[in-house]
Amino acid sequence: MSRARVAAASTLPAHCYTSTGTFARERERIFDRSWLYVARVETLREAGAFALVELFGESLILVRGGDGALRAFYNVCRHRGTRLCESAAGRFAGAIVCPYHAWTFALDGSLAAARNMSGVPGFDKADYPLHAVAVEEVAGCAFVNFSADPEQRLAPTAKAYLAPLAAKLARWDVGRLSLGHTATYEVAANWKLIVQNYSECYHCPVIHPQLDALSPWDSGSNDLAEGAILGGPMSLRDAHDTMSLSGNRRRAPLGGVDGDDLKRVYYYALFPTTLLSLHPDYVMLHRVVPLGVDRSRVVCEWLFAPEATAEPGFDPSDAVDFWDLTNRQDWHVCELSQRGIASRAYTPGPYSEFESMLAAYDAHYRTVMEFGSATP
C-alpha cells in the first residue's frame, strides 16, 4: 500500500470491535464465505480417523474416508438432530453411529442403516445423508468453508485462496512438517485486534524487548501488500539465526530454505483469522477463533521437521517459550485496546507508515463487509 493511501487511512470505527450487530454481519459476510484453517491433517491419515472442530456454535466432524478423501460433516444426526460424536478426536470403526437410536452413517456421509425404518412409507435412506461442509487440504492443513456455493465464497477453492503463498509453502515443505507443540489462549479482545497486532512491529520495541533483541522492529518489508494475504519478511540480527530464547538455531533449516532466508522470518496474515510465520527451522500457525464480539480463542501450533520431532528427547521449548512470552505480551495489549475502544472517548486515529499492513487489512475488511470507504 502506498504512503499516500496509508496517510489517508485511519483505524476502524468502534462498532467494528464492540457491536454485536457488526459481529453478526461478519459471520454472514466473512466467516460463512471464507476458507478457515481448522486442523493439521497428520492425525487424519487413516480411514476412519476423525477430529471435531468447534466454530461459531457449530460442531463439525472431519473424517478420512475409506477412499482416502477428507470430508467434513455437521455433527448432527439426520434422524432427530442428536450430536453424533463427543470425543475430540479418534477413529471410527468403519462407520459413524448415532448414540441415540443407532442410525449408522458411512464414512462418506451416506446413511447406511436406520433401525426399524423400512416400514415407514416413502422413507429412503438416500434422502438422509449427513450435511456436508466444504473441506480442502493444502500443505497438510485442513480448511473448511461453510458456503456450499463456490461463487459465493471469497475464493472458489482453498488452493486458489493460498496461491500467493504456494511457492513458500513448498519451499518450507509445510505439508510434510509435524506438530511439535500446541498452546491455546483465551483473549478478551475482538478477533481483528489480534490479527492487526500481529501485522505490525511498530509496537515491538515497547511491548517486545526480547523480540527486538533478535529482530529489528523496523526491518520488515512486505511482498504481499494487498488482498486477502498480507505480509512479508523481517530480518534477524547478525548474531542470531532464529527466533528463540537464545536466538541460536538448534535444528537444521526446513525444506529448501537457504541463502538470505536463513536470516529472515516471514509473517503473513491470511484473511480473516489465520496467521502464518515461516522461520528458518520451524513454522508457526496461529488460528484465531472468534467467540464473541470481545472474546477470542487463539490456538498456536509449532511445526517442525518430522526428523526433529522423532528424535529421542525432542524439546521445542526454545521456540515455544519465546513465543509464549511474546504471545502473552500481545494478548495483554490487545485486551487493553479492546477496553479503550469500548470507551465513548475513542475515535479512529491515524496509522503510521509502519502500519501499512493494517491499513491494507482494513481496506480488504471494508470491501468484504461492503462498508465502502465511508464510515458505516
Task: Kindly report the three-state secondary structure assignment for every residue of the chain.
Answer: CCHHHHHHCECCCCHHHHCHHHHHHHHHHHHCCCCEEEEECCCCCCCCEEEEEEECCEEEEEEECCCCCEEEEECCCCCCCCCCCCCCEEECCCEEECCCCCCEEECCCCEEECCCCCCCCCCCHHHCCCCEEEEEEECCEEEEECCCCHHHCCCCCHHHHCHHHHHHHHHCCHHHCEEEEEEEEEECCCHHHHHHHHCCCCCHHHHCHHHHHHCCCCCCCCCECCCCEEEEEEECCCCCCCCCCCCCCCCCCCCCCCHHHHHEEEEEEECCCEEEEECCCCEEEEEEEEEECCEEEEEEEEEECHHHHCCCCCCCHHHHHHHHHHHHHHHHHHHHHHHHHCCCCCCCCECCHHHHHHHHHHHHHHHHHCCCCCCC
Q: What is the pLDDT of residue 375?
A: 47
Q: What is the pLDDT of residue 8?
A: 77
Q: What is the pLDDT of residue 376?
A: 44
Q: What is the pLDDT of residue 7?
A: 64
Q: Domains (ranges, CATH) in the chain?
A: 3-30+165-369 (3.90.380.10), 36-152 (2.102.10.10)
Per-residue pLDDT of the chain (376 residues; tens, 9 = 90+): 556 667 678 999 999 999 999 999 999 999 999 999 999 999 999 999 999 999 999 999 999 999 999 999 999 999 999 999 999 999 999 999 999 999 999 999 999 999 999 999 999 999 999 999 999 999 999 999 999 999 999 999 999 999 999 999 999 999 999 999 999 999 999 999 999 999 999 999 999 999 999 999 999 899 999 999 999 999 999 999 999 999 999 999 999 999 999 999 999 999 999 999 999 999 999 999 999 999 999 999 999 999 999 999 999 999 999 999 999 999 999 999 999 999 999 999 999 999 999 999 999 999 999 986 444 4
Please name every residue paired with 275 in a beta bridge, in sequence order, or none if there are none: 269, 286
